Amino acid sequence: MEIDKAIRESNDQKLKTKYNKAVNVIQRALALYPIEEVAFSFNGGKDSTVLLHLLRAGFFLHQVDNGHSNGDLSSYASAFPIRTIYFESPSAFPEINSFTYETASSYGVQLDIIRQDFKSGLEALLKSKPTKAIFLGVRIGDPTAVGQEQFSPSSPGWPPFMRVNPILDWSYRDVWAFLLTCKVPYCSLYDQGYTSIGSVNDTTPNALLCIKDFGKEKFKPAYMLSDGRLERAGRAKKLHQKVKDGVKGVESHQENTPSASIIAVGDEILSGRVEDELRHLLCRKLHSIGWNVSHIAVVSSDVDSVAQEVENQKSTSDMVFLYGGVGPLPSDVSIAGVAKALSVCLASNEEFEEHLRNLYGEKWTGESNEMAKLPEGITELLLHEKLPVPLIKCGNIIVFSATNVNEFDQQWDALTNSRLLATTRSFVSKHFTTSLSDIDVAQPLSKLCFEFPNVNIGCYRKSRTEPLTITLEGKDEKMVEAAMEAVSTRLSSQ
């Protein structure tokens, strides 16, 4: 069997160990469940491609173990014996669809195409064909892997079946080592810089693989991504889609304007002992790249306060920026708060530990240090040559460790270089001063707000005796100019 042979002949001990363990899980599943009641969930992605070949090898070895001679298996070479389901969606990449179909035909895979969402599709499947166990290419680090083991019953509220995850403990490196060692075909998108593939609405090539070739942007193949923890960096939801889907309930006055929430953590800020300079700076920086800050909060240094605020904001903003409460002190609870909000454990992160060791030298107290613990399975480290310690990103939460303006500037530069923040059209701002009273301007301005919904019209004055400044801001320059013209005409007639 060519897969088994390729692995046995390879010198990659780590891969061999992972392979043996995965095949063992497959053999256990095949011993536990009748093969007619087992299914494989295949979607043309790299992880499920690995699993397809592991299942081929696992089935072969299972047959050999059960006393079938190699001769009996000749027909198996052209027919894959496990029922295979593919949830086809209109938003799948065409390359994924064609790879899935081509692979099915090359390896004799009987594809059951399901054109429903996962839950309803599985409900229908279980009704039509008894299915006790489903093989999935889920790996630790996938958001959906949290809390799963190699054999995990489906979640409460889902139809009942056993999820079998033979490659749960495989790293990104293991996946590529396997595909390249076995020389099996994989979807062409992975050679174009895609490192993890969702739908056309939420997946772009991974910016960390981008290279400039004579000024033109190109992407290296997925197997060249050195830090596997960043494999999902190309899977931010595309902003315009998010606004259309209404996935996030963000009331932004601009279309295509990403929204940000800022959370500062610190009892010193709440007591007024320390001035929060970073908030002002962060607002300015976000505004300068066309983002809308929709919420700012200061919370006290306790895990539950941080967790509650992060939980509230992570689903209402495109990105949550958090600072304060990061470090080794008892009051440094921000990372634990983020983990709690995301329902994951804190676990030692070797790479982060290495950076801390370099930073603290002899003062570093070793592996048990709580500071090296980060939210498990969902943390991405954003490295930058100017940063002694990488920035931490967990889902749509970015944690700054800066304690002053200079450190913050550096961390911001690293973040913008990482290209994780969408830069959209910048705001066009105009202002207008008037000595009219607030009562005079109130009604005309309210009307103008309705007439120009895409222009944010605001007012402020430095003191009650100084003129009123009216601000107009938007992304459509012509619209802002028209609003400005309308303001000046309406107010001059007052």
Ligand X SMILES: Nc1ncnc2c1ncn2[C@@H]1O[C@H](COP(=O)(O)OP(=O)(O)OP(=O)(O)O)[C@@H](O)[C@H]1O
Ligand Y SMILES: Cc1cc2nc3c(=O)[nH]c(=O)nc-3n(C[C@H](O)[C@H](O)[C@H](O)COP(=O)(O)O)c2cc1C
Widest pairwise Cα distance in the chain? 97
The pair of structure tokens assigned to 385 is: 């040559």
**Contact characters 141-180, Mg ion, x per CB under 5 A:** ----------------------------------------
Give dist(CA 440, CA 264) in Å, integer: 38
Total of chain residues touching Mg ion, rule CB under 5 A: 2
As measured in angstroms, the least distance from the Cβ of 137 to ligand Y is 9
Q: Say whether residue 142 binds ligand X (CB under 6 A).
A: yes
Residue 38, φ and ψ in degrees, nearest 5:
-115, 145
| Nearest residue (CB) to Mg ion, 45 versus 474 | 45
User: 398 contacts which partner out of ligand Y, ligand X, Mg ion, none, CB within 5 to 8 A by kind?
Assistant: none
Contact string 47-66 vs ligand X (x = CB under 6 A): xx------------------
**Interface residues for ligand X in 198-237 (CB under 6 A)?**
none
Applying CB under 6 A, does 131 fall inside the site for ligand X?
no
CB 487 within 8 A of CB 472: yes
Which entry of Mg ion, ligand Y, ligand X, none binds 137, CB below 5 to 8 A by partner kind?
A: ligand X
For every residue of 311-350, DSSP letters joined together read: HHHHTTSSEEEEESS-SSSTT--HHHHHHHHTT--EEE-H
**C-alpha closest to that of 229 among 139, 311, 100:** 139
- Binds ligand Y (CB under 6 A): choice among 120, 155, 433, 488: 155
CA 228/CA 207 separation, integer angstroms: 13
Question: Of 51, 70, 50, 52, which Cα lies nearest the Cα of 60?
Answer: 70
Cβ proximity to Mg ion, 169 vs 202, nearer residue: 202
**Comparing C-alpha atoms, which of 126, 125, 123 is closest to residue 158?**
123
**Can residue 343 be called a binding residue for ligand Y (CB under 6 A)?**
no
CA 188 – CA 166 distance, rounded (Å): 24
469 binds, among Mg ion, ligand Y, ligand X, none (CB under 5 to 8 A by kind): none
Q: Which of residues 70-129 bind ligand X (CB under 6 A)?
A: 85-87
Give the x/- contact pattern for ligand Y in 198-227, rule: CB under 6 A.
x-----------------------------
Q: Which is nearer to ligand Y, 242 or 279 (CB)?
A: 242
CB atoms within 10 A of CB 398: 23
Q: Which of 116, 154, 192, 256 binds ligand Y (CB under 6 A)?
A: 154
Q: How far is the CB of 41 from ligand Y (least distance, A)?
A: 4
Q: How many CA atoms within 13 Å lie on the side-chain side of 113?
A: 8
Question: How far apart are CB 433 and ligand X at their closest, in Å?
Answer: 55
Tokens matching residue 276: 């929060």
Please tell me the distance from the alpha carbon of residue 278 to that of residue 404, in angstroms, as a whole number.
7
86-105 footprint of ligand Y as x/- string (CB under 6 A): -x------------------
DSSP state letter for 159: P
Distance CA 59, CA 135 (A): 13
User: Counting beta carbons within 10 angstroms of the beta carbon of residue 108, is it exposed (0 to 12), middle (13 to 18) or buried (19 or more)?
Assistant: middle
Query: Residue 163 CB, nearest distance to ligand Y (Å)?
Result: 6
Q: Of 132, 102, 127, 103, give the one whose Cα is nearest residue 114.
A: 127
234 binds Mg ion (CB under 5 A): no
Q: Which is nearer to ligand Y, 136 or 402 (CB)?
A: 136
- Number of C-beta neighbours around residue 71 at 10 A: 6
Report the nearest approach of ligand X to the CB of residue 118 (Å). Answer: 7
Cβ-proximal residue to Mg ion, closest one? 45
Q: Which is nearer to ligand Y, 165 or 456 (CB)?
A: 165
> Which of Mg ion, ligand Y, ligand X, none interacts with 154 (beta carbon under 5 to 8 A by kind)?
ligand Y
> Is residue 144 part of the contact set for ligand Y (CB under 6 A)?
yes
Q: Are strands 259-265 and 292-299 parallel, antiparallel or unpaired?
A: parallel
Q: Which residues pair with 216 in a beta bridge?
A: 213
DSSP secondary-structure letter at 235?
-
Stretch binding ligand Y (CB under 6 A), from 12-20, 152-160, 361-369, 403-411 = 152-160
Residues forming contacts to Mg ion in the complex (CB under 5 A) are 45, 197
Residues forming contacts to ligand Y in the complex (CB under 6 A) are 41, 87, 118, 122, 134, 136, 142, 144, 154-155, 158, 163, 198
Residues forming contacts to ligand X in the complex (CB under 6 A) are 41-43, 45-48, 85-87, 136-138, 142, 196-197
